[in-house]
Structure 1
Amino acid sequence: MVTRLPKSDPLNLTGVFRREVPMPPGSFLSLLPDSLWSSLLTTDPGSGAPLYPVCYAKDKRLPLGPGDETVYLTLTGCVAQRRYPYGRGAKEPVILRFRGAGQLLGEAKLLDPCSSVETVCLSDTWVLPYSADHLNRLLGRRGGQGRGALLASLEERNRTDEMIYGTVTRPPLRRVGALLHHLAVTAGTGHPDGSVRITGPRQTDLAEALLVSRSTVENAVSVLRTGNLVASSYRRFVVTDPAGLARLAGVPRDFRLSA
């Protein structure tokens, strides 16, 4: 293994590289066979350069524009991806989705090198960068098992996105609760007392993702605080009772945090 880890390791990157840290269920890394994990950490056969993890600081953009040729495997952190299907006009809709550990970012570049998506790190985010060509070669090894894991993770992600972001007829409290639970699963950090900390997203980000007003999110978070399900401060939420939040939000059992 040639991956060089930072001297200080507060996010347990060492455990991530040893596959000792569970990845969110349904994510690419959770579905990737052990036999292929070591392949993702080897030297790039195209350039000969070793693969080192890179940290992008909070509010920095990942270089995923049309002229960039790199895709990123998220190891820790939380990012917001925005798409502008009708252009960037002031009144045009914006699609915002949150992504966390174990997810591949910029996967469309595996098919179209000119694709792009605006990706902003909401917290300090560790990623493993790959050239699109290199990753395509890796995914094709061992009978395409890696490609199968990626396709399965994208299907899981699409279904989850529909459940979290697309159910606009559900009550706002349940929608906000489900999104916070989703963030706890995909981008949260667990603590021994059972709580889960989510660092990075703001209430305005939640409102933008759910296509509701900020006051709607504020009111929902206030109810969750009163019920001792969530604590919050600027760019930080702590899910103090994951099971209770899941029940209130009506989260299907398959998407609940492990006990």
Structure 2
Amino acid sequence: MLSVRVRLRGCVAERTLIGSSPTMRILGAGAVLGCMKVFDRRIPPPTATCLTDTWTISVPLERMRTLAESNASLMKAVGVSVADRLEATERIYNRHGLKPVQRLAGLLAHLVMHCAVPAEEADFRVEGPAQSDLAEALSLSIGSVEAALKTLREDNTVLPGYRTYEFPSLRRLLETSAIQFPPESLAGALAAF
């Protein structure tokens, strides 16, 4: 049975097959896996891989459609989830004209906003995605991601570990990413100072 799953905690890799090749996005708390299926029955269902310990609320797809069709607030919430996903795709994933280090910094900054956990040596920590996950999400080679991580590590912007990334300076990460985050987000607030 197909379900819509609301992420409460954790980090997942969602793969959607539209066309001939899958698209992978890394999602965190607040994301709604399968939200596009609520609006369009023709879209193939996504698959997800949990990258960390993940908590979700699951609602059968047909039940979610029925609820959304009869409740304008729920329909709006699902629509906002779809709009957020599209906006993040443009802001984070479709930046092919930038250098790999800028693209990687942008994705890592996005993950800090949605998947951060307390860090040991820095203010923020992201757990879960392997270098291969980051490469697939950004349509980069693993070598490009490794080189970008090396640059970020040398600049003391990211402290990478095994499937972990700590950030001594979120401001430096945001500057490297060259992304304009929404003003109401943590990243947007930091950029305003």
TM-score after normalising by structure 1: 0.65
CA distance in 2, matches of 1:178, 1:200: 17
SS at match of 2:140: coil
SS at match of 2:173: helix
Partner of 1:217: 145
Contact 1:78/1:123 (8 A) holds in 2 = yes
Q: In the TM superposition, what is the alpha-carbon distance from 1:166 to its structure 2 partner?
A: 0.8
Q: How many percent identity over aligned positions? A: 28
CA distance in 2, matches of 1:253, 1:129: 29
State the number of aligned residues.
Answer: 186
- Report runs of 4+ in structure 1 exceeding 4 Å deviation: 190-194
**Structure ranking higher in helix proportion:** 2
- Kindly indicate whether residue 189 of structure 2 is the aligned counterpart of residue 238 of structure 1: no
Aligned counterpart for 1:129 among listed residues 49, 58, 74: 58
CA distance in 2, matches of 1:101, 1:140: 25
**Residue ranges of structure 1 left out of the alignment (5+ in a row):** 1-67, 88-92
Contact 1:181/1:245 (8 A) holds in 2 = yes
Deviation digits for residues 16-37 of structure 1, max 9, x if unmatched? xxxxxxxxxxxxxxxxxxxxxx
CA distance in 1, matches of 2:54, 2:144: 29
CA distance in 2, matches of 1:165, 1:114: 20
Bigger radius of gyration, 1 or 2?
1
The amino acid across from 1:161 in the alignment is T
TM-score after normalising by structure 2: 0.85
- Kindly indicate whether residue 80 of structure 2 is the aligned counterpart of residue 80 of structure 1: no
Q: In the TM superposition, what is the alpha-carbon distance from 1:85 to its structure 2 partner?
A: 3.5
SS at match of 1:120: strand
Q: In the TM superposition, what is the alpha-carbon distance from 1:115 to its structure 2 partner?
A: 3.5
**Structure ranking higher in strand proportion:** 2
**Distance 1:208-1:234 versus aligned 2 partners, 3 A rule:** same
Contact 1:183/1:198 (8 A) holds in 2 = yes
Query: 1:108-127 maps to which residues of 2 (within 5 A)?
Result: 108-111=36-39, 112=41, 115-127=44-56
CA distance in 2, matches of 1:154, 1:114: 13
Query: 1:1-259 maps to which residues of 2 (within 5 A)?
Result: 68-87=1-20, 93-111=21-39, 112=41, 115-140=44-69, 144-191=72-119, 195-254=123-182, 256=187
SS at match of 2:45: coil
Contact 2:180/2:188 (8 A) holds in 1 = no
Deviation digits for residues 56-76 of structure 1, max 9, x if unmatched? xxxxxxxxxxxx232111000
**Distance 1:136-1:76 versus aligned 2 partners, 3 A rule:** same
CA distance in 2, matches of 1:212, 1:152: 29
**Residue ranges of structure 2 left out of the alignment (5+ in a row):** none
Contact 1:69/1:113 (8 A) holds in 2 = no
CA RMSD across the alignment: 2.3
The amino acid across from 1:116 in the alignment is P
Deviation digits for residues 34-85 of structure 1, max 9, x if unmatched? xxxxxxxxxxxxxxxxxxxxxxxxxxxxxxxxxx232111000111112334
CA distance in 1, matches of 2:127, 2:189: 20
SS at match of 1:127: strand
The amino acid across from 2:140 in the alignment is V
